[in-house]
Copies of this chain bind each other. A is one copy, B any other.
Amino acid sequence: MSQTDTVSRILDAAEVLFAERGFTETSLRTITSTAGVNLAAVNYHFGSKKELIQAVFERFLTPFTQTLADELDRRVTAGQAVTVEGLLESLYRVGMGSLAAQGRDPQRFMRLLGLAYTQYQGHLRRFIVSRYGDSYRRFAGLLAQALPGLDPVTFYWRLYFMLGATIFTLSSFDAIEAILREDFGAESSLPETLERLVPAAAAMLKVDAD
């Protein structure tokens, strides 16, 4: 088994288990036995459990933010006005597409993102902000441009409302979908849900202040 093999097997197993149960509830023993590698491999290759957690986030956030940056470049240089709906579509399409292209599950990353916000892991928040804060500010800046006349504080609160609706819904997608299927017999796919989310979130961002 080559080194890269062991490293990626650990990352694969950790990604799935962290998303399912959270960080503290997932032991290194569970991760390594799922991955089929020795317990000591995590400390050998990553140093510590904390650094493993960061590596899991790095592996999906780096290509995600890179692809999003390209997508935003394309929209901006296209010359035409950047709309709220267009930006949300870009965000969701990149989240779906760039990850699905790697054969990875988009919902899993939403769950991980949700955990990054809610779990008590100071090091993780610091890691994400320092590494991906620029991408976040770029997107927020473009969205603010698409909403002229909105005062900055109101805009930022609504940005968090939008993030909350997105992360909360998609990270619990399976559970919500199961409830709707049971109550209405109607299946919902992730792309369908994102199509519902774009106009809803856009309306929330755009509503006139009163």
Q: Which residues of A contact B (CB under 8 A)?
A: 20-22, 24-25, 114-115, 117-120, 152-154, 156-158, 160-169, 171-172, 176, 179-180, 183-184, 186, 188, 193, 196-197, 199-201, 203-207, 209-210
A196: chain B residues within 8 A (beta carbon)? 154, 157-158
Contact of A207 among B114, B156, B199 (CB under 8 A): B199
A165: chain B residues within 8 A (beta carbon)? 160-162, 164-165, 168, 204
* Structural contact, A184 and B153, CB atoms closer than 8 A: yes
* Structural contact, A117 and B168, CB atoms closer than 8 A: yes
In the A-B complex, list the 9 residue pairs whose CB atoms are closest, starting with the nearest. Answer: A164-B168, A203-B207, A161-B165, A204-B204, A21-B120, A24-B24, A164-B165, A165-B165, A200-B204
A167: chain B residues within 8 A (beta carbon)? 164, 168
What are 10 A-B contacts with C-beta separation under 8 Å?
A: A22-B118, A22-B119, A153-B186, A156-B184, A161-B200, A161-B201, A164-B165, A165-B168, A168-B168, A200-B205
Known A180-B153, A188-B153, A200-B204; judge A22-B161 contact (CB<8 A): no
